[in-house]
Structure 1
Amino acid sequence: MARPRVAVLDDYEGVFAASEPVRRLAGRVDLDVFDAPLPAGREAEALTPYEIVVALRERTPFPAELITSLPRLEFVAQSGGHAYHADMEALSRHGIVMATGRPKLGGETAPQPSLMPELVFGLLFALEREIPTLDAAMRRGEWPRSLGRSVHGRTLGILGLGRHGSAVARAAAGFGLHVAAWGPTLTTERAEAAGVELVPDLDALLDRADIVSMHLKLSDESRGLLGEDRLRRIGPRGVLINTARGAIVDERALASLLRAGDLGGAALDVYAHEPLATDSPLRALDNVVLTPHVGWTTDRNLAEFAEDTVAHVEAYLDGRLPASGVANPAALEVSRDRHGTLTSG
């Protein structure tokens, strides 16, 4: 069988192409790196030659119609721990295996450290100390006055105390914040282990918190969780930070409340539809700080993504990748030609 062809997608920053794991993989496969988005409407044409794809987060969606157009594709190494952008049923139906997250190749897999506190507190301080506004004024030759707001002694309400939420809670202690948390499955034991106060009722947490930081996964239950009524509970001096998923928040209601002053401010890295529309009302509000979904685009994260995805590809080609370590092991039940396989572990 000929060497498999591998496409590394969306390497805009050039981290994958320059990484040792990708250079190593290129020694055993025919490998192409795409450093720009695939041509709109021509994704199938671009990916038709490839048996294996390395995908960088959700930059390239994999809907059913694209998957159906790629008869050679057999394996997708997806960086990050989720695949909201991929039609998993279609992948399985066509016998295409998808591996996500950190490789589970025997032994203990070290958890990937959360870098989310860096962005959360960067956004918070940018908003509360008016850093973007002051920077712009200084560049215009001005010497502006400002009355920033300290976070010390205020209450941070965390929605979702998983890997990212727990890391934010630990960092918050260093700034003198009192931390309270709510989550659909959060227990007293987990809250105590994280050193935070458990508030079992979401509305009660929103009423109490001065700053609300979102760290929930997107699901049927979390979609639209913060509508107008709940956003209003945060109040005219309250702040919302969303680095989780834009669809958890009613974006239209958010913009309306911010414009009216019924919500004090917002710092956002994620949006219901990305890229954020050029005419979004959020872009025109002074009490908002916006970033273009950069929570995961750090040098360290991308280097680890390169290492993890290449490890998945190598293990698949060597027959060392356990079925328990992929998102859809049922895909292997589809009879087709393959360059690799899974183990029964």
Structure 2
Amino acid sequence: MKKWTEVFFILLIGMMMQNCAYKTTYQTIEFSAFDEMYPSITEKDKFYEGKFVKGDHVISPSHVTIYTDSIIKFSKDRRPIVEVVREQDTATYSNRLIQLNDVHNFRDLGGIVTQQGRSTKWGMIYRSGHLHKLKKREEDKLLNLGIRQVIDLRTDREIKKKADHLPKGIEYVNYQAYEDSEDMFTKTRKDVIKGNITPEKADALVVEFYKLYPLDDLSKVREIVFEILDNDEAILFHCSAGKDRTGMIGAILLSILDVNRAVIIQEYMLSNNYRKEEVSSRMKLAKFGKMFFPRLNYQVVENFSWVKPIYIEAMFDAIEGEYGSMESYIQDGLGIDDNMRQKFLNRFTH
């Protein structure tokens, strides 16, 4: 567990520089093309907007308000889930990003095509950042999504500082796939501010974290996976920013559900798309802080704020290095045999 004390600080920056935009990045940031792969439905302030390809046959719910050649507007009385027929193939679409004030990176893992040509079901598995700032007026929205259980992947110290605010009727469960045996937050904050961490070291430590997480406490990862998949009701899992621990668990879940690796990585990279404003605020605060701490490196802050393909690829590489393949990890490491996996596929895909 000593390695955790060295890499734990990669989670710090998400708490250290919240709530504070800058115009440019200090390095090339990669964004996901995932939302461009499918017809999209976006949640607006007063309606949902669906953009489809001209010629699509959209089997719409009754709450359509405006219907043009390629754009449909839905009222906000309920979340739209629509069927689209294109070239005799039928697929189901909804809004992936869920809009909640001050709850970041909240998204649905539905509508993802598997290698068998099936799709993950909408409204079953959600992922997000922490729910500490969930507003009372938005609790009904969480309940209306059908979510009845929240799995928190954070440490005790993180939870103590920013506990989730949940409405009645939602069960809360905490699983920690590593232990913060030492309080690294204070030390790491000083290291970042003093400029003791280079961008290269930052990347290396993030990569190391991704290598350790799925293997270091496998029994806990197994518990998390089964808590999510062995469940008939909608479930939400999250960490602090909803990008690293949540991203890894999401990648493992989608692997179990037979989603192609390249598609999994594109879904993982959506955290960059959905966290632009949050990261921009952090960088604005970092720019202000540099006046007082001149050795603060903007790129280091960025490396802890964005996700990169090399991070999640490091997780897959570590798993395959230990088990030979992702399939062996699923079967031998997580204990999911063919019958159990088929049960999960039947439950979460169609």
Give the alignment's TM-score, normalised by structure 1: 0.30
- The structure whose RCO (Cα within 8 Å, separation 6+) is larger is 2
* Bigger helix fraction: 2
Give the alignment's TM-score, normalised by structure 2: 0.29
